[in-house]
Amino acid sequence: MTDTMTNTTTNTGTGWRFSENASLRERNTFHIEAKARWLLQIDALGALPEALSQPEWRDAPLLPLGGGSNLLFAGDFDGAALAFNARGVRIPEDGDEALVRGEAGLPWHDFVRWSLDAGFCGLENLSLIPGTVGACPIQNIGAYGVEVGERIETVEAFDRVERRFVRIAKKDCGFGYRESIFKHDADRYLIVAVEFRLPRHAPLKLNYAGIDEQLLAMGVATPNARDVSDAIIRIRQRKLPDPALVGNAGSFFKNPIVPQALAFSLQMRDEKTPVFPGDSADTRKLSAAWLIEHAGWKGFREGDAGVSPNHALVLVNHGNASGAQIMQLARRIAASVQEKFGVAIEPEPRVIGATW
């Protein structure tokens, strides 16, 4: 057995290992201090069933970590946190379009840049998003007019109910705006790899605010996919704090989708209110960042919990804020937006140890 007070790592099987009472501070990009009762590390995907079958944690709550970029720990986790270390990439088929398979532990941005180096396109607008390949389908990550579900062909997962590996086709993943079946059935599916259908040639998506301006500033008149990636990296670095320097989880709130009538009434109050197409003809999407900024929260700080001065959508840990303090601030912001605009906003990250 391991010493629960010393975080001792014990090799217990081929392709996996565990530690007890494990600190998760360096496994979440908020850098919130929290502990997991157990931390399982999977070095070989085939070892997952054996690792999960151990009697100590077989029936315990399970938390896949990914890069920890979509988590807020408002308390410790009394269960088994799971980290995938497998980072392989392979191309089962190639041609003008290729099927590219990335394993769960591969950092997302590394995978995007690898795809560009290999001559593929389609993921360039998703550059510099923190996290891992295994985490990207859960929230159906998106940025600058692109969602990852557009390029996913198949998700490979371990089904904890059926206790076997399964392949889930794109049409069955339930992708929507920051939505998927993996988000709503988080205790069932453990994503181990993702297959992407990537073209070698495709029209670039440049119609999102800021991309054309950044390309122009870079002196690029006829951009390729790598140019778009470089432009978006520069935009994100300018707007968003580096989690290595200031703890954060990127965009903390989802852009709210509201009835068309409410969106139009807000535009009548202020014609500068950003309004975008919703998920149906009678809905519209609003900018959570704009709402938060115009409710007066941009740059706010109380102790070490705050809002980025560069982007109102980013909640930050300036040093030693607790998850409970970040959560309290998020609730105050949401209540303020509700009171001022009549719009409910909700967090993107998964909250551990509290409910929204």
> What amino acid positions are annotated as catalytic residues?
178, 251, 348
Residues β-bridged to residue 62: 80
Six token digits for residue 307? 């809002």
Reference 100, options 198, 167, 216; nearest CA is 198
CA distance 240 to 259: 30
**CB-based burial, 76-108: b 16+ in 10 Å, e otherwise:** bbebbbbbbbbeebeeeeeeebbbbbbbbbbbb
Residue 224, SS3?
A: coil
β-bridge pairing 77-84 and 35-42: parallel
CA end-to-end distance (rounded Å), the chain: 37
Six token digits for residue 214? 């950044």
CA distance 184 to 241: 29
Six token digits for residue 105? 């532990």
Contact 4, 23 (CB under 8 A): no
Six token digits for residue 242? 């580096």
CA distance 250 to 236: 10
